[in-house]
């Protein structure tokens, strides 16, 4: 066993070193080892793989490849995957142990996965799902950070484990997301989304890891492996096959309390998310003899850490409107430390809960984090019951009313024109093809609008007036605030088509906005005076779009808001070369992958710059369909053939219509 463990340790070391060298050479344009050394290490790894019969995840000797699927198929489990009975009482855990020995391990907080190996190869991976039916995620499991793709055991091996993302990887992934509200709330949510991706390249980028915690079956030629009735020997067998097994300690009644205390200390620095511990009897026969209840197996039990509760003072109730008109009460209290972070806010959810807690400003309350994540009020120690329910919406001042939603009462704004209900308008305004302001997700906009920071477009450019409040908001901070301000200031420099598109005028996309701007030679004053009849005469615009454009600039409120917006931005005039409008009046359709342009949008932008238009579907007006796969049986190719529209490759289009040689670059 020792020799096998040494070989496995060396294999892991080699995989890490070789992948590091490969990344440096191919992605970072630097060398950290010679070709000779790289080849020698590869030879050593391949020899060890032949000797042990194992191939570790990430080994350069295999190429897993990326694959996208349309959906994840579902599959029923052979037997239901039950939840565990739970306790927060350490003495109860000791009593449950009795005179038996057991294994005490981390209860990892991720997504449970069932792996199946046959003839030494991974053939299937299925999520826990609802316990009865899971989703098949085999392609994704193949790119987990630490799953062995080949093992030396040649029989059928079925095991269960937890897919997780470490805190370090979680923080790294979130740090790359500029928008605070778009960041993942916790590692478990990130892991769940990563494991269930339709494209396993995304899964590979998330560094998902797998820790085995249960061996379901190990059988070859009808003979099961003899583990001498020991759960620990199963763990040792799995470790010998190359799996990372969940960390555990062998315990009995005499030492279990000390073991729990040890875990309690270690969880403060443990890199893998855990929401408790699991205790299981080492004696497998004894455990099986206990049977199970309708919900839980009797051979194991979960220990959950007791909620950390802090006492504090309620400072105010903030009323936060949403796009549905629902106004949520949020408790603001003196900051307290909970589970390692400072919290000062907790949602009260609805009026029924608020009344049930009998809240009043200045009351002494206790707070905790549900599942160690979401701040909640546990109890009101004062119970003054003096909070007044607002009769008017804090955003628009409109009338509010109580409504029964199920058995709970909730507060709603009755004004259909409330700014909080127009969240989609602001979401569109900050979008990539509009003003392109990073850091303002729909959820963040909803919060800012709810607090009265934003009532019209120009207010977005003055969010610096609310710096102290924004920095103090949960999930924000100085760095996130500064990133947001930088993005807003960058958005002050814009182009006219993007500005027109940002207004959300009905049926006017970015392409139509560009057509209108070109027609009026980017003269905004002339565009604002345009009538529907004149606009409808523009090729590709028509009466409906023309009417919508005229109606927008005929509305006094729209004009006032637009004028206020113009004071905040500088419109850059795109220089157009009249002689360069070689595609004026021509419509094209682009489909499929491209080789010479970074994306279809890049080619589209070039066509539009030369006066042409790119449509989404083939019609009789289409000059040609650009598709590198001319012989494909796609719907666009079929339509083009029906209408006698030429199908040309990217290179043919560049040569004939752009007068560009692919060899000369773009």
Distance CA 520, CA 553 (A): 15
369 is catalytic: no
3-class secondary structure for 588-599? EEECCCCCCCCC
**Pair type for strands 111-118 and 121-127:** antiparallel
Q: CB count, 10 Å around CB of 375?
A: 20
To the nearest 10 degrees (0 to 180), the angle between helices 35-52 and 2-27 is 140
Distance CA 185, CA 183 (A): 6
Q: Where are the beta strands (DSSP E) in 146-295?
A: 156-164, 209-220, 223-224, 248-251, 274-281
Q: CB count, 10 Å around CB of 506?
A: 11
Residues 6+ positions from 32 with CB-CB distance below 8 Å? 20, 21, 24, 25
Catalytic annotation, pick one of 107, 150, 369, 636 = 107
Q: Do 645 and 625 touch, CB atoms closer than 8 A?
A: yes
Distance CA 6, CA 281 (A): 29
**Pair type for strands 364-370 and 341-347:** unpaired
CB burial readout 75-107, b (16+ within 10 A) else e: eebeeebeebeebeeeeebbebbeeebbbbbbb
Distances (CA, A) of 64 to 143, 148, 161, 561: 7, 12, 21, 55
Distance CA 290, CA 303 (A): 19
Distance CA 340, CA 344 (A): 13
- DSSP label at residue 465: G
Residues 6+ positions from 20 with CB-CB distance below 8 Å? 32
H/E stretch holding 122 = strand 121-127
Distance CA 432, CA 453 (A): 22
Of the candidates 143, 107, 436, which has an alpha carbon nearest to the alpha carbon of residue 248?
A: 107
3-class secondary structure for 341-355? EEEEEEECCCHHHHH
| Active-site residue set | 107
């Amino acid at each position: 066993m020792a020799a096998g463990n040494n070989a496995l340790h060396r294999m892991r070391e080699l995989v890490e070193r070789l992948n590091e060298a490969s990344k440096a050479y191919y992605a970072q344009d630097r060398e950290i080892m010679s070709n000779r050394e790289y080849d020698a290490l590869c030879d050593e790894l391949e020899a060890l793989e032949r000797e042990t019969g194992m191939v570790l995840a990430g080994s350069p000797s295999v190429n897993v490849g990326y694959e996208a699927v349309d959906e994840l198929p579902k599959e029923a489990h052979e037997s239901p995957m039950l939840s565990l009975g739970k306790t927060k009482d350490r003495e109860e855990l000791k009593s449950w142990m009795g005179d038996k020995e057991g294994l005490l391990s981390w209860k990892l907080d991720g997504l449970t996965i069932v792996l199946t190996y046959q003839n030494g190869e991974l053939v299937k991976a299925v999520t826990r799902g609802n316990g009865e039916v899971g989703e098949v995620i085999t392609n994704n499991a193949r790119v987990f950070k630490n799953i062995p793709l080949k093992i030396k055991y040649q029989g059928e091996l079925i095991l269960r484990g937890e897919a997780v993302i470490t805190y370090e990887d979680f923080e790294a992934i979130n740090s790359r997301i500029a928008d605070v509200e778009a960041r993942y709330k916790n590692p478990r949510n990130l892991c769940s989304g990563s494991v269930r991706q339709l494209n396993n390249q995304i899964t590979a980028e998330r560094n998902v890891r797998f820790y085995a915690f249960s061996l379901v079956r190990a059988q070859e030629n009808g003979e099961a492996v003899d583990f001498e009735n020991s759960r620990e020997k199963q763990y040792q067998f799995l470790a010998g096959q190359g799996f990372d097994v969940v960390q555990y300690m062998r315990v009995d009644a005499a030492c279990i309390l000390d073991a729990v205390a040890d875990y309690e200390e270690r969880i403060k620095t443990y890199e893998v998310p855990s929401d408790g511990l699991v205790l299981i009897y080492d004696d497998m026969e004894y455990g099986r003899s206990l049977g199970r209840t309708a919900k839980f197996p009797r051979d194991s039990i979960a220990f959950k850490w007791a909620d950390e509760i802090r006492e504090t003072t309620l400072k105010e109730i903030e009323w936060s409107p949403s796009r549905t008109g629902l106004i949520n009460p949020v408790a603001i209290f003196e900051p307290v430390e909970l589970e390692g972070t400072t919290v000062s806010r907790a949602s009260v959810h609805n009026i029924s809960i608020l009344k049930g807690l009998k809240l009043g400003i200045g009351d002494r309350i206790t707070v905790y984090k549900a599942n160690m994540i979401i701040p909640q009020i546990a109890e009101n120690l004062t119970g003054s019951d003096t909070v007044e329910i607002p009769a008017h919406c804090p955003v628009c001042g409109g009338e509010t009313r109580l409504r029964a939603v199920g058995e709970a009462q909730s507060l709603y704004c009755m004004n259909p024109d409330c700014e909080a209900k127009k969240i989609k308008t602001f979401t569109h305004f900050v979008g990539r093809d509009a003003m392109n302001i990073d850091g303002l997700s729909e959820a963040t906009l909803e919060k800012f609008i709810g607090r009265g920071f934003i009532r019209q477009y120009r207010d977005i450019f003055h969010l610096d007036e609310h710096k102290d409040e924004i920095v103090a908001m949960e999930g924000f901070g100085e760095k996130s605030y500064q990133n947001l301000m930088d993005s807003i200031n960058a958005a002050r420099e814009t182009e006219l088509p993007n500005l027109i598109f940002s207004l959300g005028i009905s049926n006017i996309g970015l392409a139509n906005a560009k057509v209108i701007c070109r027609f009026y030679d980017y003269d905004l004053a002339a565009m604002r005076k345009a009538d529907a009849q004149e606009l409808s005469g523009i090729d590709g615009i028509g009466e409906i779009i023309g009417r919508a454009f005229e109606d927008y600039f005929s509305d006094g409120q729209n004009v006032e808001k637009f004028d206020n917006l113009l004071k905040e931005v500088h419109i850059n005039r795109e220089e157009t070369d009249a002689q360069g409008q070689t595609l004026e009046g021509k419509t094209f359709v682009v489909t499929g992958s491209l080789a010479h342009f970074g994306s279809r949008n890049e080619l589209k932008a070039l066509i539009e710059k030369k006066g042409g238009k790119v449509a989404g579907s083939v019609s009789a007006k289409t000059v040609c369909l650009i598709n590198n796969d001319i012989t494909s049986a796609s719907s666009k190719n079929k339509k083009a053939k029906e209408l006698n529209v030429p199908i040309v490759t990217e290179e043919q289009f560049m040569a004939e219509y752009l007068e560009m040689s692919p060899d000369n670059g773009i």
